[in-house]
Structure 1
């Protein structure tokens, strides 16, 4: 998307777009791009008849404009009246009333309230310290306008930075990251591949409804690998919940393994003394599992530890009791809580 802008030299980026930062922070009438679609499909911003106070206006100077938040976007019925400029020189055309309605601190003090604006302040350029992938946008502005940003496939690092920016701009993350929102679903979809980053994100903003399902992907995470930086971001409350999840599951597993199969009524071929062999074999297998127990121990490992013991037993009733007890442990283990 192309617009002319004075006093600037174009810079070509990796995506072949030409970007450029304007000098003044408040737009004069001739600096406010409101381009109609051109024949090539890219909005072009022609200059109006307002004279240039500096004299010369360089020709063919172009800037980068968001593909979603551009001058002719139909996100809302009204035309955009405020431009946000990212740190990497991309413009986002927004609606001042919408931005202020979602922010509790006037966009971190960068955007005056509607009642304090003069009638001549028809448009603004608001510089923001975030780069385009964060500001966009791919998250922040999409949240403000209640749009899904899944199309852009932002990484968890970008999402995390965007949520930090939301908090700074007075947009409470708790109000916009709930189970029914697109951003919640986007974070949860990336949790299996990067669970600790997703948990840090949820914990640092007290997003309990998100932290609960994310924590189920941390059962295989080694708690000893937590760094001081991560523990500080997680905070004591959510760190305690994560530790209790791990240790609670380990204790539940040991408790399940502790009870051996019930003995059967003595028979001519298998009395109580004979059944002690089954009990000792169970105890040895239980000790093996408990020694190397993990919060994410799969049911297949339990089956592999106990079911082969039945092949070594000559008593049919002993075999039956051992298999039944092993299956009980597997079922009960699958019912142990898997999240904080």
Structure 2
């Protein structure tokens, strides 16, 4: 059989290999609510209102009747007055942008935040002067409740996995933690709840998580996420994502892709070993296998991808043995394919 005929047994198996694209993975579960409705138990300090209210219309109901109506509040299902997250009672209330109340402890916030929540918390001496049985001031924050919930879970050292935070919430939460002066390298490292959340969600949006890790110089997180980007075409990167991850992590991503493609080309180069001529298989017959291997290797090299799986390589090269009558050549081909797939599986997959 001529080498050109062998090539038809190379193309078809490779095209049938299932994609290893991480985006084909099942979608993560929907994000769960972080608050529940409850009746107000005590007056809440609301944001200031205009000093001269607009007079009600003549047909409006009595103000006394309106005051008798119960006030419904949205309160965090984790950070509520009786949660018992600290020995003392909550002494400050954080209000999210979507009006969810979080009852928290100022000592925890002051310990974890190096800038008093971006200077939004009252000074420590003012907090210390609050009555011991009081709820304390209400501090409005610009983040939505889902993001603030993640921030507070991280500051308290708790896991928020049961809330199923979305990819957008996780990335926004990391940015908010940095803005509020929380030590990211302390809270986002292997073994911490937030690190595991980010890594677990990364297959759904690896580029966004990798850019967030690069933006905050979280090397361990970026390295753990980088294998999920082997399928991503680098030509699709845009300026916004490049600027967010930074030049250093962009270079590492390029080197990962280019290094694996170059390694694949080098591994494919050696053909199966020949053997001493026999009456059934002389050197001329063995050259047919060598030429067929070269054609198959050239095909794989032309379409070389950093995410090419060992199974795809095996499916592309094993059919070469279907048309070998020499058992020694078949054994040599089998050993060469096995060696190649093992070597390729050992090539570094992380930045």
Tell me, in whole angstroms, the C-alpha distance in 1 between the residues paired with 2:127 and 2:281. 93
Picking from 57, 71, 79, the partner of 1:61 is 71
Name the TM-score, length of structure 2 as normaliser.
0.80
Tell me if the contact between 1:5 and 1:62 (Cα under 8 Å) persists in the aligned partners. no
Find the residue that maps to 1:191 and give its secondary structure: helix
Residues 1:275 and 1:66: Cα distance change in structure 2 (over 3 Å)? same
Q: CA deviation at 1:56?
A: 11
Unaligned runs of 5+ in 1: 7-19, 26-54
1:230 aligned residue: 241
Picking from 159, 166, 175, the partner of 2:177 is 166
Tell me, in whole angstroms, the C-alpha distance in 2 between the residues paired with 1:300 and 1:253. 14
1:332 aligned residue: 343
2:129 aligned residue: 119
Unaligned runs of 5+ in 2: 1-37, 50-63
Tell me, in whole angstroms, the C-alpha distance in 2 between the residues paired with 1:80 and 1:127. 16
1:272 aligned residue: 283
1:303-324 Cα offsets, whole Å, 9 max, x none, are: 1221111121222212211111
Residues 1:291 and 1:155: Cα distance change in structure 2 (over 3 Å)? same
The worse-fitting range, judged by mean Cα deviation, of 262-271 and 97-106 is 262-271
Q: CA deviation at 1:282?
A: 0.3
Q: CA deviation at 1:338?
A: 0.9
Tell me if the contact between 2:90 and 2:105 (Cα under 8 Å) persists in the aligned partners. yes
1:256-309 Cα offsets, whole Å, 9 max, x none, are: 101111111222332323211111000000001111111111222211221111
Find the residue that maps to 2:67 and give its secondary structure: coil
2:100 aligned residue: 90
Q: CA deviation at 1:99?
A: 0.4
Say whether residues 1:79 and 2:89 are aligned partners. Answer: yes
Tell me if the contact between 1:100 and 1:113 (Cα under 8 Å) persists in the aligned partners. no
Tell me if the contact between 2:272 and 2:336 (Cα under 8 Å) persists in the aligned partners. yes
1:146 aligned residue: 157
1:64-87 Cα offsets, whole Å, 9 max, x none, are: 111111112111111000111111
Tell me, in whole angstroms, the C-alpha distance in 2 between the residues paired with 1:170 and 1:249. 38
Q: CA RMSD in A?
A: 2.1
Higher relative contact order (CA 8 A, sep 6+): 2
Q: CA deviation at 1:142?
A: 0.3
Q: CA deviation at 1:61?
A: 2.3
Tell me if the contact between 1:21 and 1:89 (Cα under 8 Å) persists in the aligned partners. no
Tell me if the contact between 1:82 and 1:125 (Cα under 8 Å) persists in the aligned partners. yes
Larger helix fraction of residues:
2
Q: CA deviation at 1:115?
A: 3.4
1:2 aligned residue: 39
Tell me, in whole angstroms, the C-alpha distance in 2 between the residues paired with 1:165 and 1:63. 24
Where do 4+ consecutive residues of structure 1 move more than 6 Å?
Answer: none
Say whether residues 1:23 and 2:57 are aligned partners. Answer: no
Name the TM-score, length of structure 1 as normaliser.
0.82
Q: CA deviation at 1:109?
A: 0.6
1:93-127 Cα offsets, whole Å, 9 max, x none, are: 11111100101111111113423556257622111
Tell me, in whole angstroms, the C-alpha distance in 1 between the residues paired with 2:81 and 2:190. 32
Say whether residues 1:293 and 2:293 are aligned partners. Answer: no
Tell me, in whole angstroms, the C-alpha distance in 2 between the residues paired with 1:246 and 1:255. 15
The worse-fitting range, judged by mean Cα deviation, of 55-64 and 91-100 is 55-64
Say whether residues 1:130 and 2:143 are aligned partners. Answer: yes
Q: CA deviation at 1:215?
A: 0.8
1:99 aligned residue: 109
Say whether residues 1:156 and 2:167 are aligned partners. Answer: yes
Alignment of 1:169-188 (within 5 A): 169-188=180-199
Q: CA deviation at 1:174?
A: 1.5
Tell me, in whole angstroms, the C-alpha distance in 1 between the residues paired with 2:219 and 2:345. 23
Tell me, in whole angstroms, the C-alpha distance in 2 between the residues paired with 1:109 and 1:176. 21
